[in-house]
């Protein structure tokens, strides 16, 4: 288990992705899909990041369904300093 998400290597339902995440604080470890934009590469995520505007490059795992039915992404790590 990693970040509250179980990985099934055969199903390929939940995977790690480079992404830009809209986040104001580093306290959160999971994000709804509407604040996560999956990017094709680490370079693309870093290029699209705008920390001054709250857009941060990171690696996320997901999407995963919450018990409430929301699709969530879990933070694996920030690619930059990350939100303070």
Which pLDDT score is estimated for 38? Answer: 97
Please report, rounded to a whole number, the percentage of residues in the chain having pLDDT higher than 70.
80
Please report, rounded to a whole number, the percentage of residues in the chain having pLDDT higher than 90.
61
What's the distance, Cα to Cα, between the start and end of the chain in Å? Answer: 26
> Is residue 20 over pLDDT 60?
yes
Exposed e or buried b per residue across 44-62, where buried means at least 16 C-beta atoms within 10 angstroms of its C-beta = bbbeebeeeeebbbbbbbb
> Is residue 19 over pLDDT 70?
yes
> Is residue 30 over pLDDT 50?
yes
| Selection from 55, 56, 76, 84 nearest residue 5 by Cα | 76
Farthest-apart Cα atoms in the chain, separation: 39
Asked if 81 and 51 touch (Cβ cutoff 8 Å), the reply is: yes
Instruction: Write down how long the chain is.
Output: 84
């Amino acid at each position: 288990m990693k970040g509250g998400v179980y990985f099934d290597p055969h199903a390929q339902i939940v995977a790690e992705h480079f992404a830009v995440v809209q986040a104001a604080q580093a306290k959160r470890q999971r994000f709804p899909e509407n604040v996560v934009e999956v990017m094709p590469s680490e370079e693309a995520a870093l290029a699209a990041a705008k920390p001054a505007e709250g857009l941060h490059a990171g690696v996320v795992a997901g999407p995963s369904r919450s018990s409430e039915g929301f699709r969530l992404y879990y933070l694996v790590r920030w690619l930059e300093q990350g939100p303070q």
